[in-house]
Structure 1
């Protein structure tokens, strides 16, 4: 049981980050039927990079805005902007295409359009702004929240797999497999355990619970929008869902 969990954990790290994890089969999508159980732990580990960057910046007496900006710079380096790329493609496709086919074609285009550029700008502004607000009160609490939200948003970002059929006959959305119930239960337990970090750092348990609900709600809304726009799931939908979940959760903590 332990070895398969470790394999799932390493598969998630390989896919969701650019960390030097051995990749015997490349950086292919994990088998989410089981791998989702390890995703909160992998997400938390990914969140350590921006959290430590934030704490280091505050220790050097940099203001909260610069500390938050450096934190997301570190996160981008670790993840390779995986989810940001999905959000940009989603915005370009939904905003620039008139038909389902046009939207899907635009989403496959690697070039960045106006809608994608605006979406990326707003995503970074909202996340940096939220962490700046939190860090003004406590750098340690902000760092703990960054770790928790990194785990929460990546797990909630898989919600579209649960309710959507693939929009294409190929691609990441078609390859993504619906998680097993037992794996989802393990993921929920791990996410709950990681939520102790922001609570121990000073966040209200009610705020933590609300952030989880809002993250799930944002991912669900992204899935339903994708269903209306393109009739199903693609890899970009998963990226957009993660970004929306991350923004929603951070805004809850900033608004307390």
Structure 2
């Protein structure tokens, strides 16, 4: 169990904690611990909210921590997928662009909007419990779609597909129970990415999973701001 948690940490963060001699079954079992990795990412965000900092400074540090601890992995997936999915192109051209390491106009546009929304949302949200939990939900929300839609080929997505993903719902459950509207919006954001990738590319890959996590986080944060405005 500890090996599976360490592997989940190594897959989703920059922490050098991967165990040696990892087998295929361990990659799959690690998905059950993905929400716990999210909680570890949310912990410094929650601590920031408890410090006497201005919302802007707290948000800037939160963005830096969230991106830095994940090695910009999910942001990279979002940028790559934006170039491939957006615009009027045939499927073959989209797949070629997906493999191209260079960034195009859609990547810069989507990336800029994403960072602005992430910063503003973190500035608005000062609830330590929410900040602790929402990254865990984002690392569960993509799992049902990973196991529903076809894959584009071998890669990290294929390594973790087939694992006991329903068990990951148990550690992720506090978030939808406490914050149902943000959880729903985050889940819908992940579904939207998966659906669009399936429709325009024919399936999912690691970039799609990263984009699903990134947009689920932003949608959950914005959903919290909306929920608080509606509930007063």
- TM-score when scaled to structure 1? 0.80
The structural deviation recorded for 1:173 is: 3.7
Q: 2:207 matched to which residue of 1?
A: 236
Q: 1:211 matched to which residue of 2?
A: 182
Q: 2:74 matched to which residue of 1?
A: 83
- The one-character-per-residue Cα deviations of 1:17-50 (angstroms, maximum 9, x if unpaired) are 0123144258x99623x22211111110122233
2-structure distance, mates of 1:110, 1:124: 20
In terms of mean alpha carbon deviation, does 16-25 or 70-79 score higher?
16-25
Q: 1:138 matched to which residue of 2?
A: none
Q: 1:252 matched to which residue of 2?
A: 223
User: Which runs of 5 or more structure 2 residues have no equivalent in the other structure?
Assistant: none
Q: 1:163 matched to which residue of 2?
A: 148
Q: Structure 1 residues 25, 17: CA separation in 2 closer, same or farther (over 3 Å shift)?
A: farther
2-structure distance, mates of 1:159, 1:85: 22
Q: Would you say the 8 A contact 2:149–2:203 is kept in 1?
A: yes
SS of 2:152's equivalent in the other structure is: coil
Q: Would you say the 8 A contact 2:121–2:222 is kept in 1?
A: yes
User: Which runs of 5 or more structure 1 residues have no equivalent in the other structure?
Assistant: 136-140, 200-204
Q: 1:202 matched to which residue of 2?
A: none
1:13 is aligned to 2:24: no
Which of 165, 168, 177 is the aligned partner of 1:187?
A: 168
2-structure distance, mates of 1:29, 1:242: 23
Q: Structure 1 residues 226, 216: CA separation in 2 closer, same or farther (over 3 Å shift)?
A: same
Q: 1:153 matched to which residue of 2?
A: 138
Q: 1:227 matched to which residue of 2?
A: 198
When the two chains are superposed, the root-mean-square deviation of aligned CA atoms in Å is: 2.4
Paired residue total: 226
The structural deviation recorded for 1:190 is: 0.8
Pairing 1:53-92 to 2, within 5 Å after superposition:
53-55=48-50, 58-59=51-52, 62-92=53-83
- TM-score when scaled to structure 2? 0.87
Q: Structure 1 residues 174, 102: CA separation in 2 closer, same or farther (over 3 Å shift)?
A: farther
User: Structure 1: which 4+ aligned runs deviate by more than 4 Å?
Assistant: none
- The one-character-per-residue Cα deviations of 1:75-131 (angstroms, maximum 9, x if unpaired) are 111110111100000001112571212111111122222111111111121122112
